[in-house]
Amino acid sequence: AQKITQTQPGMFVQEKEAVTLDCTYDTSDQSYGLFWYKQPSSGEMIFLIYQGSYDEQNATEGRYSLNFQKARKSANLVISASQLGDSAMYFCAMREPTGANSKLTFGKGITLSVRP
């Protein structure tokens, strides 16, 4: 079974509007971390936001916020006031404490295109 599911193949949003990118995850651990990364066409992975499984409040980082619904195992990224520079691939990832070493598991990503 997939650990991280991102089913939206491509998203379009008008500049200055808000957009939500969906992410669901699967884990039996009680402690885990959820991450969102942005990958522009240049290829580098840019860290956006992090949510810990025990955090009671949704994470926010500037125009990015994470809508964390633990019971539904979803961690959707909300981008407010979209800008043209937000056009990129967005990846949701999870990190579980598997013994002494933990690894980051990525979803397949969502393409976001911001229209002027």
Partner 1 sequence: DGGITQSPKYLFRKEGQNVTLSCEQNLNHDAMYWYRQDPGQGLRLIYYSQIVNDFQKGDIAEGYSVSREKKESFPLTVTSAQKNPTAFYLCASSISGGFLAEQFFGPGTRLTVL
Binding residues for partner 1, per CB under 8 A? Answer: 4, 31-33, 35, 37, 42-47, 50, 52, 91, 93, 95-97, 100-104, 106-109
Residue type, 97: P
| Nearest distance from C-beta of residue 97 to partner 1, angstroms | 4
| CB-nearer residue toward partner 1: 88 or 107 | 107
Contact 67, 58 (CB under 8 A): yes
Q: Which of 10, 51, 8, 4 is nearest to 24 (CA)?
A: 4
| Nearer to partner 1 among residue 65 and residue 109 (C-beta) | 109
Pick 64 or 106: Cβ nearer partner 1: 106
> What is the rounded CA–CA span in Å between residue 82 and residue 78?
10
